[in-house]
Structure 1
Amino acid sequence: MAWETSNRRERLPDNWAAIRRRIIRRDGGVCVAPLLDSGQRCGEYGTDVDHIIPGDNHDLSNLQLLCRWHHTRKTQRESAAARAMRPRPQANVPRVEREATPDPW
């Protein structure tokens, strides 16, 4: 996450450091993301405590430890989904009626 451009850190609870330590201990210090080919845990060193369901629900059941790679991929998917839900502005370009093109056959 780009902390420099986010207000996310401000929205974390005062005891976030303790919650984070608890998640790291619970998940054994390793990434819990499932590998696509085997379904087993990634097993890389966990660096990021992630909200399973995005938002401000800091319940332990909504937190997981991910490696940087898996956390980045998950964040990219969530960002793309959020962008896709936003309405796109319509250009105010008048439609020009086109003459029918004669059929050359």
Structure 2
Amino acid sequence: MSGGWQGSGRVKRLPPNWRRIRARILKRDPVCKICGVRPSAFCDHIEAKVDDHTDTGLQGVCGPCHDQKSSREGNQAQRDNPKPGRKRPTEEHPGVK
């Protein structure tokens, strides 16, 4: 599994029979569960932070919907856990005295 998995630790948390689970979900959901138009290409965890590998915790989605959902989830995760910033005290302009 490469490509979109680069930099992700999620692949390590998948069960050993993930390929079979994925195939079963894509067979069950041939059309994207989000848009209802395009064919499913990804087996998506419905809740981002939950590693629920049961049939009720997974859905088949198309590429564009998967990308949008993953982006939203990633942006939300960054908002929930911002990196510590460097706060500098405000300084007076050197010409103002």
TM-score normalised by the shorter chain: which range applies? 0.7 to 0.9
Partner of 1:53: 47
**Alignment of structure 1 residues 6-85 onto 2, 5 Å:** 6-27=8-29, 29-34=30-35, 41=36, 43-54=37-48, 55-85=50-80
Deviations 1:40-84 (A, max 9, x none): x2x212110000001311111010000000000000000111101
Aligned residues: 90
Runs of 4+ in 1 over 3 A off after TM superposition: 95-98
- Give TM-score, length-normalised by structure 1: 0.74
Q: Structure 1 unaligned segments of length 5 or more: list them.
A: 35-40, 99-105
Question: Residues 88 and 21 of structure 1: is their aligned pair in 2 closer, same or farther, counting only changes over 3 Å?
Answer: closer
- Rg bigger for which structure? 1
Instruction: Quote the sequence identity (%).
Output: 37
- Report the alpha carbon displacement of residue 90 of structure 1 after superposing the two structures with TM: 4.2
- Report the alpha carbon displacement of residue 96 of structure 1 after superposing the two structures with TM: 4.3
- Give TM-score, length-normalised by structure 2: 0.79
Partner SS for 2:51:
coil
Q: Structure 2 unaligned segments of length 5 or more: list them.
A: none
